[in-house]
Amino acid sequence: MSSPSEPESAGSPPPPRPVPDAERAEAAEAAAPAGGAGAAVAAGGAAASGEAAASGGKTEAGGTAEAGAETPKTPKAPGAPQPGPTPQPAPQPWPQPGPPPQPGPYAQPAPAPGLAYRPPGSPYRPPLPPPEPAWVTATEPKRPALPHPRVLAAAGACGVVSALFLGDGLGVNLLLVAVVAAVGAGLAAAAVGRKVRPWTAVWAAGAMLLLAVPALYEAGWPVFLAMVGAVATGSLALHGGRRWPGVLLGPIGLWEHLIPGVAWSLLALRGQGMPARAKVMPILRAVGVTAVLLVIFGALFAGADSTVADLFDDLMPDLEAGNLPYRFVMFFFGLTMALAAAHAAAAPRRWDRLPVKPGTPRGRLEWALPMIAMNLLFGGFVVVQLVVLIGGRGQIMARTGLTPAEYARQGFWQLLWVIVLTMVVVAVARRWAPRANDGDRLLVRILLTLLCTLTLVVAVAALYRMQLYMDAFGLTRLRISVAAVEIWLGVVFVLVIAGGVVTAQRWLPRAVVLSAVVAVAVFGLISPDALIAEQNVARYERTGTIDVGYLRGLSADAVPALDRLPADQRTCALQVISAETAGAGEPLPWYAMSLSESRARDILTARPAGPDRGAACHKAGFREYGDGY
């Protein structure tokens, strides 16, 4: 049995509470008016029943009543109603544990700089990316539509042409690849609504003119300059530009389109936006059927006539199995460059929108004093040069002990640096020039025009010194290159005077770049190696002295001029060139050989240079230049 002091079970309802006598009496009195005697009797019965229940509870709890003992019953009046069951109070449910409390609105720490705001209870969010630079936002192009199938077909054709014609040598093959790539770029530009503007046509024509240099001449150094200039000019044609940022950064903008161009084409090939992919399949089938028919019937015609077979051998590239990996690399190169050009034509970066902070105008005295000093210095040098020129060579030798050629060489490089640095000074001076009123602008024009004019005189003096030096020691690659740079710088100063100092013209940036393109093209098309050989042979015919050791290192472009030398000098001068051209084995295919090399092969085949026994070079007075350049 349980002790009365033990607590009740947590899950069982509490026992009914005994009703006191006072409460039962009050309940009977309240019910008397309504129910009369019957209600009172019922109340009494209920009270008796409550007492019996309480008594029974005590007997069971205390354990004093014996089992089977009869409980005395209360006598009932005849006709009295039977008492009903004692009403039990409704059990009250015990409180159940509720959900855990939510975290309250505690203060959150402020987000660190660069982090997104995270409200309380939200999941973690990564930090925001840093904002793009202002120049990227200003020049960013619109995302182009996916390429048309014709653009992809042109790019694939460029890859095929590159795989077939590139690799054996440099000639007209570069021009062929460039033309096919230009067609694809034109189709991409037309698809997005870009029109061909006059300056775009000028830059495209300049690029093709530069690529004519390797098709005509063999010398590697002007060919390299022409190839670099062609890529830069073609990139400028794709991007456009009229301000200095556009014409200076546009020539190198093609390279950022290499990866986007490939990704652009892959999106189209996956079918995202490809207009009617079924249109591509007829084109591919037509190309495949055409190739099969040409191969079959061409092989039959070649077997029927040896002349046709020789013609096919000359026209068709060598497709040996050992060259297939290299051909695949050339295909990928041509395809990538064509896709980059097409992507640049469809979505060029607008370098003209690049924000350039204008220079802070300086005060009149702060700006004018250095310019006046430079003009006085340049004017004094020009006066001295005029005096020396009037005095003649005899006065130079008497006063300095130097020959005119040695005197010319003494200051040539210094004058070249003067011209280059003056260009920088003029650019900085224009940026910081005072322009508060008309007087300031007039002063700027006068001083800068005078400085540019005096610099032109210095350039003429430097060219005159070079002329004296070349008359005495002959023409070399370095001397002709430096002379070409000086001539171009003189042209630039003329353009600056005409369009940048006297009046501010918008055509000046493009005119300066166009002058550079023309200079590189002319430099390559005059064939510097042929010009060097021609000048030295003419000097030999006039003076009887020649440096055969230098001439034997020229390219095949020099063969027509060197072929006029006497036997010993000719044999010594042409031995190296002959080994590199006619003696190199089978001739290169037509597309990989320049016109100059073809002409040199014909000359050396008709009149071979002869074996190198050393006697010819010894008789020719083989020696190296001793002046260093």
pLDDT, tens digit, for every residue of 577-629?
888 876 555 677 888 889 999 999 989 888 888 765 556 566 655 554 444 44
- Calculate ∠ Cα 222-226-227, nearest 5°: 120
Euclidean distance between CA atoms 341 and 160, whole angstroms? 16
- Calculate ∠ Cα 107-113-114, nearest 5°: 115
DSSP state of 274: -
Q: Nearest 10 degrees: CA dihedral of 441, 445, 451, 455? A: 140
Per-residue buried b or exposed e for 524-536, using 16+ beta carbons within 10 Å of the residue's own CB: bbebbbbebbbbb
Euclidean distance between CA atoms 521 and 223, whole angstroms? 10
Q: What is the rounded end-to-end Cα distance, in angstroms, of the chain? A: 126
Q: What is the structure's pLDDT at 47? A: 41
Among 356, 508, 357, 368, which residue's Cα sits nearest to residue 435? Answer: 368
Structure tokens at 503: 């009046």
pLDDT tens column, 91-108: 555 555 555 555 555 455
Structure tokens at 236: 């400028």
- Please name the residue that has the structure tokens 């029943």: 49
The answer to whether residues 501 and 235 touch, using CB atoms and an 8 Å cutoff, is no
The answer to whether residues 109 and 72 touch, using CB atoms and an 8 Å cutoff, is no
Strands, DSSP E only, in 246-297? none
Radius of gyration from C-alpha coordinates of the chain: 51
| Helix, strand, coil % in the chain, rounded to nearest 5 | 65, 0, 35
| 414-417 contacts, C-beta under 8 A, 24 or more apart | 415/458, 415/459, 415/461, 415/462, 415/465, 416/462, 416/482, 416/485, 416/486
* 309 three-state secondary structure: helix
Close Cβ partners of 457 (under 8 Å, ≥ 6 residues apart): 378, 382, 385
Indicate the helix (H) or strand (E) that contains 246: helix 244-249
Euclidean distance between CA atoms 492 and 467, whole angstroms? 21
Q: Count CB-CB contacts under 10 A for residue 431.
A: 13
Structure tokens at 34: 């309504």
> Chain centroid to CA 424: how far?
28
Residue type, 42: A
Euclidean distance between CA atoms 157 and 166, whole angstroms? 13
Q: What is the structure's pLDDT at 394? A: 63
Q: Count CB-CB contacts under 10 A for residue 317.
A: 17
- Calculate ∠ Cα 197-266-348, nearest 5°: 25
Q: What is the structure's pLDDT at 69? A: 43
Euclidean distance between CA atoms 499 and 481, whole angstroms? 27
Q: What is the structure's pLDDT at 339? A: 96
Among 16, 90, 87, which residue's Cα sits nearest to residue 45? Answer: 87
Euclidean distance between CA atoms 598 and 587, whole angstroms? 9
- Please name the residue that has the structure tokens 């209360």: 74
Close Cβ partners of 446 (under 8 Å, ≥ 6 residues apart): none
Structure tokens at 61: 């709890």
Close Cβ partners of 110 (under 8 Å, ≥ 6 residues apart): none
Euclidean distance between CA atoms 463 and 484, whole angstroms? 10
Distances 442 to 372, 561, 621 between C-alpha atoms, Å: 14, 54, 62
Structure tokens at 132: 């793009």
Euclidean distance between CA atoms 231 and 201, whole angstroms? 15
Structure tokens at 323: 């060259």
Q: What is the structure's pLDDT at 97? A: 58
| Low-confidence residues in the chain, pLDDT < 70 | 1-126, 271-281, 284, 312-316, 318-322, 391-405, 407-408, 500-504, 582-586, 611-629
Q: What are phi and psi of 547, to 5 degrees?
A: -105, 90
Among 250, 253, 254, 246, which residue's Cα sits nearest to residue 509? Answer: 246
Q: What is the pTM of this model?
A: 0.73
Indicate the helix (H) or strand (E) that contains 453: helix 438-473
Q: Count CB-CB contacts under 10 A for residue 93.
A: 7
Count of all residues that appear for the chain in the document: 629
The answer to whether residues 42 and 35 touch, using CB atoms and an 8 Å cutoff, is yes
